[in-house]
Amino acid sequence: MESSILESIGVEIIGVMSPVSICMFLVVLLVYSLSPSNPFSSPSVPIRTAANLVYLETPSDSATQKLEGSLLNALVFVILIAVVTFLLVVLYYYNFTNFLKNYMRFSAFFVLATMGGSIFLSIIQHFSIPVDSITCFLLLFNFTVVGVLSVFSGGIPIILRQAYMVSLGIIVATWFTKLPEWTTWALLVALAVYDLVAVLAPGGPLKLLVELASSRDDELPALVYEARPVVSRSRGSNLGLLVGGVSDSGSVELQAVNESENHRPTTNEGESFPLVSHSRERHSFSSESSEHSTVVVSCDRVQNREPEIVVDEEMSPLVEMMGLGNEREQQTRRDNVEVRGGGGGSDRGIKLGLGDFVFYSVLVGRAAMYDLMTVYACYLAIISGLGCTLILLSVCHRALPALPISIALGVVFYFLTRLLMEPFVVGTATNLMMF
């Protein structure tokens, strides 16, 4: 029996959604399991980071004070990020690529070693795991070194790289959840707005960066999650070079590249700014020629040792359908897609920046401090926002910010759930009324 199209539609969307889900799930778990220990330790030492330079929130302040303070904090943070991004653009413009890469490696090392280390320490303390310091140090060191190697070097299996991207996201997000409540919300909203401006407005730093990178046909010097298919999923594949393929029709390459994590050692806080960018390389194979299975072996620019097998799956069709549902539109779109040679150093699959991972998880983690119900609501909202962004991405063919839709939905759902739904559900469920 021939396989139905159900198995091939939406693979790419799931490929992006599943790591995001894993990241959020682990952050929630961390926040949940570590929070009982916090009431004793953390309130006395509020952490001072770049995100609350101006105003240090204390629970006793009045609402207006908190609001003003958190808005100021968010403003300062966004300005900082904007400055750093412009700096990045300037450095990239003058071809300091190696410097940037090394800086990224350094910051990855720092994040994994210090912030990750302190999280591991608190896990060890909380569950009282019997580990001696030397073993712990060795393990941490190995973990960190492999992580740093996997960020920009070749020869590392993509799955490991993806795993490290997710764990970087988890670590930074867990740190961000330690920010006070009002500041977190203001920060999230401000970042979503900043993301929107930076990616879409003419002259926005992220837009410049992405255009620069695509004009040079180069890799962005940033920490980016690549949702490339890791293994051939189709039947009849023999490990190596051949993939019994899924046919391929006008599958559009969308790259949502995201921006880096920018670490500031002095403040002991990694700030990452999200950006999603542009479809650098679009590939399409006309649907006429697509009866046969297509095997694309991408000669990756990172020159992996093992040949990377990339199966093209249909993602855009679903997207087209859901987005427009319009035959004519589909046709024109297909015509518009540029066909560039399949050979060049292109990578395939959607890319999502680490910043998006981080801030999605921060939202969910903040929701986890209130109740489980808000966690589920926020998770669903964020995932559906991500889905909408991906659909828009295939419609618009350009760099899109991944934060605004998701964060807006997430925040709205959080407050709706908290204010409206919780009394309703608790009221009915504790009377054992259900429907």
Partner 1 sequence: MTIAAGIGYALLALGPSLSLFVSVISKKPFLILTVLSSTLLWLISLIVLSGLWRGFLPLNSTTWWPYGLLLFTSIAFQEGLRLLFWRVYRRLEDLLDAFADKVSKPRLFMTDKMQISLAGGLGHGVAHAVFFCLSLLTPAFGPATFFVDRCSQIPFFLVSAIIALAFVTIHTFSMVIAFNGYAEGNKMDQLFVPVVHLAAGLVTLVNFASGGCIVSIPLLYFIAILTLIYCGKMVWRRLTEHQSTQGNS
Q: Please, what's the b/e burial string for 11-32 (b: 16 or more CB within 10 A of its CB; e: otherwise)? A: bbbebbbebbbbbbebbbebbe
Alpha-carbon distance of 173 to 180, in angstroms, equals 14
- 4 touches partner 1 by CB under 8 A: yes
Which of 94/435 has CB closer to partner 1? 435
Q: Answer yes or no whether residue 87 interacts with partner 1 by CB under 8 A.
A: no
Is there a catalytic annotation at residue 300?
no
Stretch that binds partner 1, among 60-68, 169-177, 257-265, 376-384 (CB under 8 A): 376-384
Task: Give burial (CB, 10 Å; 0-12/13-18/19+) of 95.
Answer: exposed
Q: Output the CA–CA distances (angstroms, integers) from residue 226 to 69, 72, 165, 195, 263, in the order listed.
A: 37, 34, 9, 20, 21
Q: Report CA torsion sign: 403, 405, 409, 412.
A: positive
Span interacting with partner 1, options 10-18, 44-52, 168-176, 335-343, rule CB under 8 A: 10-18
195 is catalytic: yes
CB nearer to partner 1: give 107 or 290: 290
For partner 1, which is the closer residue by CB, 242 or 421?
421
Which distant-in-sequence residues (6+ apart) come within 8 Å of 357 by Cβ? 19, 20, 23, 165, 166, 169, 173, 225
Instruction: Give the range of 64-72, 178-186, 321-329, 348-356 binding partner 1 by CB under 8 A.
Output: 321-329
Catalytic residue selected from 248, 300, 347, 356: 356
Residue by residue, DSSP assigns 305-348 as: SSPEEE-----HHHHHHHHT--HHHHHHHHHHS----SSSS---
Residue 15 or 117 having the CB closest to partner 1: 15
Which positions from 282 through 301 interact with partner 1, judged by CB under 8 A? 287, 290-291
Residue of 280, 276, 278 lying closest to 346 (CA atoms): 280
Q: Does the footprint of partner 1 cover residue 19 (CB under 8 A)?
A: no
Tell me which residues in 192-251 interact with partner 1 (CB under 8 A).
247, 249
Q: Give me the 340-369 binding string for partner 1, x by CB under 8 A, dash otherwise.
A: ------------------------------
Residues that bind partner 1 (CB under 8 A): 2-7, 9-11, 13-14, 247, 249, 287, 290-291, 314, 317-318, 321-322, 325, 327, 371-373, 376-377, 380-381, 383-384, 387, 413, 416-417, 420-421, 423-435
